Amino acid sequence: MLGFKRTLGEKISSLLSLSREDIRFDYPPSLSLGDLSLLSAFIVGKREGKNLVFLARDYASKLENLPMVEKVITAGPFINFKLKRDEFFLYSWKSRDEVKVIPREGKNLVEHTNINPNKAAHVGHLRNAVLGDSFSRLLSVVGEKVEVQNYIDDTGVQVADVVYGLLKMKGLSPEAWDRIDEKFDHFCWDLYVEVEREMESNPLAQQERKRILKALEEGQGPYAEAGRKLSQKIASLHLQTMENLGIEYDLLTWESHIISLGLWARTFELLRKKGVIRKSEEGPNAGCWVMDIEEAGQTREKVIVRSNGTATYVAKDIAYQMWKLGLQDRDFNYRVFKKYPSGRLLYTTTLEDGETMDFGKATRVYNVIDSRQGYLQKIVKEAVRRLGFEREAEGSIHLAYEMVALSKKSAASMGFEVDGEAVSISGRKGVGIKADDLIEEVKQRAMREVEKRHPEISHEKMQAIAEKIASAAIRYYMLKFTNNSVVIFDIEEALSFEGETGPYLQYTLVRINSIKRKLRERSVSIVPPRWIDNDDYWDLVHRASRFDEVLDKVRGNMELSLLAKYLFSLAQAFNVFYTKYPILNEPDPGERSLRFAIMELVEAKLKKGAYILGIEIPERM
Q: Answer yes or no: is 218 within a domain.
A: no
Beta bridge partners of 81: 36, 72
Q: Residue 289 has what pLDDT?
A: 95
Closest CA to 359 of 224, 250, 519, 484: 250
Which pairs with CB-CB distance under 8 Å and at least 24 residues apart come from 439-442?
Answer: 439/241, 439/244, 439/245, 439/470, 439/471, 439/474, 441/413, 441/414, 441/491, 442/470, 442/473, 442/474, 442/491, 442/494, 442/495
Q: How far apart are CA 534 and CA 603, in angstroms?
A: 20
Q: Answer yes or no: is 313 within a domain.
A: no
Task: Kindly report the CATH number assigned to the domain that includes residue 608.
Answer: 1.10.730.10
Q: Residue 429 has what pLDDT?
A: 52
Q: How far apart are CA 207 and CA 199, in angstroms?
A: 9
417 and 465 belong to one structural domain: yes
Q: Answer yes or no: is 461 within a domain.
A: yes
Per the CB < 8 A criterion, the answer to whether 585 and 596 are in contact is: no
479 and 568 belong to one structural domain: no
Task: Kindly report the CATH number assigned to the domain that includes residue 6.
Answer: 3.30.1360.70
What residues contact 196, with CB distance under 8 A and at least 6 apart? 161, 428, 429
Per the CB < 8 A criterion, the answer to whether 256 and 155 are in contact is: yes
**pLDDT tens digits for range 526-556:** 888 999 999 999 999 999 999 999 999 999 9
- CB burial of residue 573 (10 Å; 0-12, 13-18, 19+): middle
Q: Residue 145 has what pLDDT?
A: 98
488 and 560 belong to one structural domain: no
**DSSP class of residue 616?**
P
Q: Residue 295 has what pLDDT?
A: 82
609 and 510 belong to one structural domain: yes
Encode burial over 443-460: b for 16+ CB neighbours within 10 A, e otherwise: bebbbebbeeeeeeeeee
Q: Answer yes or no: is 102 within a domain.
A: no
510 and 591 belong to one structural domain: yes
Residue 605: C-alpha distances to residues 133, 219, 534 (Å): 19, 50, 21
Q: Residue 305 has what pLDDT?
A: 92
**DSSP class of residue 414?**
T
Q: Residue 528 has what pLDDT?
A: 86
Q: How far apart are CA 603 and CA 445, in angstroms?
A: 28
Q: Which amino acid is at 309?
A: G
Q: Residue 406 has what pLDDT?
A: 85
**pLDDT tens digits for range 597-609:** 999 999 999 999 9
Q: Answer yes or no: is 396 within a domain.
A: no
Domain termination residue (choose one: 68, 83, 98): 83
Domain count, the chain: 3
490 and 512 belong to one structural domain: no
Q: How far apart are CA 319 and CA 8, in angstroms?
A: 46
Domain termination residue (choose one: 53, 83, 113): 83
Provide the domain limits for residue 423: 405-494
In this structure, how many other beta carbons lie within 10 angstroms of the beta carbon of residue 295?
Answer: 10
Phi, psi of 505 (to 5 degrees): -65, -45
Q: Answer yes or no: is 67 within a domain.
A: yes
20 and 41 belong to one structural domain: yes
**Strands laid side by side in the 422-423 sheet:** 422-423, 404-407, 487-489
Please say whether the dihedral angle defined by the alpha carbons of residues 13, 18, 22 and 27, taken in this order, is positive or negative. negative
Per the CB < 8 A criterion, the answer to whether 80 and 73 are in contact is: yes
**pLDDT tens digits for range 49-61:** 999 999 999 999 9
Q: How far apart are CA 448 and CA 466, in angstroms?
A: 8
Helix (H) or strand (E) holding 350: strand 345-350
Domain termination residue (choose one: 57, 83, 109): 83
578 and 508 belong to one structural domain: yes
Q: Answer yes or no: is 565 within a domain.
A: yes
472 and 565 belong to one structural domain: no
Beta bridge partners of 110: 148, 366
484 and 530 belong to one structural domain: no
pLDDT-flagged residues of the chain (< 70): 418-431
Size of the chain, expressed as the number of residues it contains = 621
Beta bridge partners of 278: 290
66 and 14 belong to one structural domain: yes
Q: Answer yes or no: is 146 within a domain.
A: no
State how beta strands 487-489 and 404-407 pair.
parallel
Please tell me the chain's helix, strand, coil percentages from 3-state DSSP, rounded to the nearest 5. 55, 15, 30
513 and 488 belong to one structural domain: no
Q: Which amino acid is at 8?
A: L
